[in-house]
Structure 1
Amino acid sequence: MNTPDVSATSSAAVAENLRPVERAERIRSIDVIRGVALLGILMMNIPYFGLPEGMLGSLKFDHPGDTNFITHQIVDIAFSGKMRALFSMLFGAGVILLTTRKEHAVGLSVADIYYRRILWMILFGVLDAYILLWAGDILYAYGLCGLFLFPFRKLAPRYLILASVFCFGVLIFKGNLRFQETKGKREAYLKVVALEKQKKKLTDEQKADKQAWETVVKNGKPDQKKIDEEIKKVRSGYPTVWAYYVPINSEIQSAVMYNFYFWDAIGMMFLGMALYKLGVFTGRLRRRSYLALMLIGYGIGIPLGWLAHQLTLEAHTNFGLYLDTYGFGFPRSTYDIRRVTMALGHVGLIMIIYKSGWLRGLMSALGAVGQMAFSNYVMQTLICTFIFFGYGLGYFGKLTYYQLFYVVAGVWIFQLIASPLWLRHFYFGPLEWAWRSLTYWKRQPFRIPQNRTETVISPAQAG
């Protein structure tokens, strides 16, 4: 695309420049990776759609070797957190894509378009959480993080990587701070128990120390009364479900957001911006480079994931002994290392398949899912709330952990079939179209003329 003479650019030309990305301009490899991430995210979300949180620990860990345990072990090591990491990276890559393609516009028009998109995303996130009632919504968090990304778009990859490492360092520090705080409660409790064995009278402070640890233990055990109450409420009508989730969503999008999600998401977004500039997502690297990425990523991520899973099992089995044995929180300290390495391993595998021309039909379908990621993400909320909540089929709490993944498979099949069919007739997914129309404050073309053909950018062209 040629860069126009800014001094001679008319307002009509500027309006033309500030158009949504044409399908012919899309980088298909990014759509494919986004499609994989979008489908993978449902694997993480489905337990929180279908089961009370208080049931999850016992289903995942109480019977080592059973189907629930094995299913969780595979999901935890290979996918949990990794798909969200990948999705966040691609959001960062999207920031570069959007702003560089509009960078020739006059004045602050690029910033104007960018922040319109972000502000609309925040609103969509609020609707997803408070109207569609999805407690795990990421649109709001992504929108808030997106507010901070624009000034960083021109940084060199090494500085973006450093910014990413800083964010992960904050998470490691905060996680271990919580670990040490809990460990301190345990140590204070053991001192009080020793005094009790010596028949010594406890002070009020020592009694409080004992109570603090007993509260930790109590909160770590399933509370059947609370589980039954949650099941009853979520299987009720919309007003009851809404009243139940509003305080949960408020806490998640405030305290949890600022303590965890912000650093988690923006750290991955910085990394995604760097990886896009390095050509990782666009297919500019050679296949042997992607092979190395896959082998190194899996070679680090899988062993660390297995070890973290074993330690988490130990903590679930006897949390007190776990704290007595270990001086720092290994699962939390290595969490982002595991996520990044496994996510990059997935990218390497996907790009090897894509560049080799294997599984063309599946790659095409995944690209369509990724192109409609916004619509498909919200569709997953609609499908799952209908299946599990009381104003739908009311299956909340009726399936065991591994059975939830039958639902995941069904949604995958539907979206892999429906997305390509939809894009044969329309330029965008329905929510993508609405988002673009609101961003440009102008109704965008929607239906594809029957005689029009489209192309996409191949990895070679992108390079």
Structure 2
Amino acid sequence: MTNATATSAGAPPHAPTGEARGTTPDQFEPSSQAAAPVRAADRINSLDFIRGIAVMGILVANIVAFGQPFNAYTYPEAFMVDDGDPGGWLWIGQFVLVDGKMRGLFTILFGAGMYLFMERTWARGGTRGLQAWRLFVLLLFGLAHFFLLWLGDILAMYAIIGFLALACLRWTARAQFVVGLGAYFFGALVYTLFSFPYFLTQTSLGEGEGMAETRAEMAAGIDTALADDLVDADLIISGNYAGWLAHRVSEDWYFPLFNSGMFFLETLPLMLIGMSLYRFGFFSSAFDRTRMVRWGWAGVIVGGVLSLLIGLIVKDADFGYWAANAAFLSWSPLPRLAMALGLAALLVVYSPAWTGWLAERVRAAGRAAFTNYIGTSVVMLFVMHGWALGLFGELNRPQLYLLTALTIGLMLLWSKPWLDRYRYGPLEWLWRCLTYRKLFPLRR
């Protein structure tokens, strides 16, 4: 859901086109020399800008689950107060414009970042062992984020699936793209199976003889899920952080593994697509601008219209639990892919011309996306938990969006001044030091 950052580990002034610099020569593999981290002059600005948009958008997607029981993310009735969304149009707006699209962008960028990191590593005679260590460090960050801060972490999932993506790094760019796209379509087909509960419980297909018991079991499943949410909510509201942490360790410990299995057929394909797009020169404007604009708008419009139709189906089903879950998991993968790729294309094309103060702050937020991603969870910990401001369960959807805007403002406020004085964001710096097992200078 939320989303891990694909923090750039080093980028050449221009991305490779075709296979010229995208191959991974065997002669580089045996050496153990480590690569150096990225220099400021070697960054691809479009990656930073897209990453900045994505990290802000991910907060928009996750804010309901930060401030209300986790199932409220998809199911409005899980709100502990009136959700403040008559007609459900805010739900639909978020579903169409944000949900899954920002995670899709992040995953594509993560794949691009993996290959970008390895390109520099191979160029210095390093091996994939360094990337494996880097992913292990990310896994530790993700587990700490999950257990100490927030249930919706995806850093651990990215690290786990990233270990599998290591095996694909030496494929040709074309193979990465074809396999990634094919696997994504296969996954979209598999995910349609998860819409079965909706058809069974909210359509006439489940009204046949012998189905009453199954429908009752599914209704009980909803009650169980909401009851589990309330256990977590009570611990947060009471300010019992130790009890909340114990509950996370004893009852929810398997979530990172579960999410890795559940979203594997979406996440790994998008990583492969991200690797191939980087190697084709997609992020450095190597593609024809007119075609990028045409295909970008086509992806956004077609994906947006299809997402709107799905949202209207959920609205017609009164935003029922299984309808909402089917919309997120089963029906939206293909519209989500179209919009994520379309948004990426448009941001690559248009962002170089955006040089004002706001655009520069968005790029800075993208350069510090790892810190901003985890930092928002820290902020929400203080805002929501009973031992601090204690606003969990108190805010409706519009109020949560207002909180989101304030938090995004905080991201934009601190990121650029910090990076004007320091080489990396705080967690970006720590990740680099742990990756290379070397203390790098932080201050410029």
TM-score by length of 1: 0.80
Among candidates 373, 384, 400, match of residue 388 of structure 1: 384
1:342 to 339, 343, 347: 339
Shift of 1:219: 3.9
The offset of 1:407, in angstroms, is 1.2
The percent identity for this pair of structures is 26
Q: Does 1:241 align with 2:244?
A: yes
Please say which of residues 381-390 and 81-90 is displaced more in the overlay.
381-390
Find out whether 1:29 has 2:52 as its counterpart.
Answer: no
**RMSD of equivalent CA atoms:** 3.3
> Which of 370, 373, 377 does residue 377 from structure 1 map onto?
373
SS at match of 2:283: coil
CA contact (8 A) 1:365 1:419 kept: yes
SS in 1 for 2:282: coil
Instruction: Give 1:60 deviation, angstroms.
Output: 9.5
| Counterpart in the other structure of 2:397 | 401
Q: Deviations over 1:179-237 (max 9, x none)?
A: 34765688896333xxxxxxxxxxxxx5xx53321122344479987665543221122
Q: Aligned partners of 2:302, 2:273: CA distance in 1, in Å? A: 18
Q: Are residues 224 and 423 of structure 1, via their aligned partners in 2, closer, same or farther at CA, if it must alter by over 3 Å?
A: closer
Would you say how many aligned residue pairs link Structure 1 and Structure 2?
Answer: 413
Q: Which moved more, 1:357-366 or 1:171-180?
A: 171-180
Q: What SS class does the counterpart of residue 36 from structure 2 fall into?
A: coil
* Structural mapping, 1:8-407, within 5 Å: 18-55=35-72, 57-58=75-76, 66=85, 69-106=88-125, 109-132=126-149, 134-180=150-196, 183=199, 190-192=207-209, 206=210, 209-220=211-222, 229-235=231-237, 236-247=239-250, 249-258=252-261, 260-316=262-318, 332-355=329-352, 357-407=353-403
- Distance in 1 of aligned mates of 2:351 and 2:321: 44
Change (3 A) 1:363 1:110: farther
1:380 to partner: Cα distance: 0.8
Match of residue 4 from structure 2: none
Q: Which has the larger radius of gyration?
A: 1
340-349 or 183-192, larger mean C-alpha shift: 183-192
Superposition TM-score, scaled by structure 2 size: 0.83
Counterpart residue number, 1:454: none
- Measured in 2, the distance between the counterparts of 1:66 and 1:60 equals 13
Deviation for aligned residue 1:287: 3.2
> Which stretch shifts more, 168-177 or 93-102?
168-177
Gaps of 5+ in 1: 193-205, 323-328, 449-463
Mapped partners of 1:267, 1:30: distance in 2: 19
Retained in 2: the 8 A contact 1:427–1:447? yes
2:166 is paired with a residue of what secondary structure?
helix
8 Å CA contact 1:33, 1:370 repeated in 2:
yes
Paired amino acid for 2:102:
M
Change (3 A) 1:164 1:49: same
For residue 350 of structure 1, report the CA deviation from its aligned partner: 2.0
Partners of 2:127 and 2:134 lie apart in 1 by: 11
What is the CA–CA distance in structure 1 between the aligned matches of 2:38 and 2:223, rounded to whole Å?
A: 51
Q: Match of 2:48, as an amino acid?
A: D
Amino acid at match of 1:58: P
Which ranges of structure 2 fall in alignment gaps of 5 or more residues?
Answer: 1-11, 13-20
Task: Tell me if structure 2 keeps the 8 A contact 1:59–1:69.
Answer: no
Q: CA deviation at 1:104?
A: 2.6
* Offset from partner CA, 1:319-361 (integer Å, 9 cap, x none): 89x8xxxxxx777554221111111222233233323x23532
